Structure 1
Amino acid sequence: MLSFLKYDIPYELDSPERTVFHGEIIREKVFLRRLYREWYDVLLKRKPQLPTGKVIEVGSGGGFLKELDPDVLCADVLDLPSNDLTFSALDMPFDNNEISSIFMIDTFHHIPDAGRFLSEVSRVLKKDGLLIMIEPANSLWGRFIYKNFHHEPFDVDGNWTIPSSGPLSGANGALPWIVFERDSDVFNSKFPNLKLHHLNYHTPFRYLLSGGVSFKSLVPGFSYGFFKLADKCLSGISKQMSMFVTIVIRKV
């Protein structure tokens, strides 16, 4: 993208101030806000079928899920003014079988130890509880974009751990694919009570068109419906056109 479209962000990537600034961008940009609203619906539409209990958004960052559902507890490893709770996803402050659902957007691929995180998920989730994630997709299109136009590493040869350089700078965009697809046999063996319930590749272009949290929007907000339909058609033709994947894990 051209440099004049890029936001001048005066904060370090791993600082709480940077995440707060991202939240301001998400709320300001109509197109991006509608995309987040659609992603939040992945959780909200399932909520009535969930077991009773706490619903947690891990890595809530600059999002606005709590504005849509005040009962959701928003948590982040960064100490943010919007947090209900501040903790590491590797050490969750909950009792066994206490949580109804854990929801995350672009968080799993920042977690430095996926195995330890999933052990915590297995511990705190209730039976029939869900772990719901929206993450970068390892598709032909996704790999091209993430490897060439994104600052985060995208290493399909990586393992289940990543360097813990910082909550946002430490990352491997391919981590969801590594754990739940490439190493699915290992995942099933290590976590027999966590089952892959749903896997859906989607959203080829809308996040790019929104400019995300780094660039100004390339299209007006009123065009969202048109591009939503275009995205649906393209990802329906082939998952290789997708930039994101929704992963739903159920505890049995």
Structure 2
Amino acid sequence: MDVNRYQSEILQNEQYWQKKPILRRIYREFHEEIARHLSSLDAPLVVELGSGIGNIKEVIPHALRTDLFANPWLDQIENAYTLSFQDATVSDLILFDVFHHLRYPGTALKEFWRVLRPGGRVLVFDPFISLLGLVVYGLLHKEPINWWQEITWYAPADWDPHQLEYYAAQGNATRVFFSRMTPTLLKDWKLVMRKRYAAFSYVASGGYSGPQLYPDGLYPKMRMLDQVLDALPPVFATRILVVLEKPPSAEHTTRT
């Protein structure tokens, strides 16, 4: 993976983060929504994978911020395919805009299963491809949707998880979690929830690098619009939160 490219994007995002108060407000609400669905396990060990600029601690202060490469604000380096945690030690794994970067999602989920405690959760917050999402991510975003590209669920037997190449397919969360194959792909997991959000207030904010299309003072009105648009997710949804749980009965089982 191109470390210089990745680090450059992180530093650019940090600059945008400091310049756009509305972005900080929106992300805080996203993180609050995620926090509401963390597991209720005692002595939680919450790990965020692919933390980027690491702002989740503002809402979940005990979360471990991790990424593929070191940065001063991160707690440790982690690779989603080969985590450093012992079996059944993690209560929650958070993937914020990370799932669509997993070239082999089934292989990653197998590793998540290994480190999660029974009753532990995987929380995926990712793009959703509705009609609006098709425009937003298909025309206005630099990463591809790859809607028609086959998803390779498991990595080849000779694959080295430490030799990662850049991968992005923004349609993958929609395809994995909202398809006829979902029950088969996730047969060992308990699907606690899958919720779609219009998040038009985020889209119109321009995200990190795009132009902000409304003044900060109109944000409450934009959130009201979000609630209206949420009623038609196939048309307007641009975000999804999926919560998977390793069943308590899995204590003495391993995922194949």
Q: How far 1:47 sits from its partner (Å)?
A: 4.3
Q: Which residue of 2 aligns with 1:121?
A: 112
Q: How far 1:177 sits from its partner (Å)?
A: 1.8
Q: Could you tell me which amino acid in structure 2 is paired with residue 186 of structure 1? A: T
Runs of 4+ in structure 1 off by over 4 angstroms are none
Matched, 1:187 2:182: no
Contact map agreement 2:39 2:92 (CA 8 A) in 1: no
Match of 2:5, SS state, is coil
Q: Which residue of 2 aligns with 1:146?
A: 137
Work out which of the residue numbers 91, 97, 108 in structure 2 matches 1:106. 97
Q: How far 1:204 sits from its partner (Å)?
A: 4.2
Match of 2:87, SS state, is coil
CA distance in 2: counterparts of 1:203 and 1:13, whole angstroms: 33
Matched, 1:58 2:22: no
Match of 2:231, SS state, is helix
Instruction: Report the number of matched residues.
Output: 235
CA distance in 1: counterparts of 2:96 and 2:18, whole angstroms: 16
**Normalised TM-score (structure 2):** 0.84
CA distance in 1: counterparts of 2:4 and 2:26, whole angstroms: 23
CA distance in 2: counterparts of 1:159 and 1:13, whole angstroms: 29
CA distance in 2: counterparts of 1:53 and 1:238, whole angstroms: 33
CA distance in 1: counterparts of 2:219 and 2:89, whole angstroms: 38
Match of 1:14, SS state, is helix
CA distance in 2: counterparts of 1:31 and 1:89, whole angstroms: 30
Contact map agreement 1:21 1:62 (CA 8 A) in 2: no
Contact map agreement 2:197 2:233 (CA 8 A) in 1: no
Q: Could you tell me which amino acid in structure 1 is paired with residue 190 of structure 2? A: K
Identity within the alignment, %: 26
Q: How far 1:240 sits from its partner (Å)?
A: 2.2
Q: How far 1:219 sits from its partner (Å)?
A: 1.8
Aligned-residue CA RMSD in angstroms? 2.2
Listed as ranges, the gaps of 5+ residues in structure 1 are 1-11
**Normalised TM-score (structure 1):** 0.85
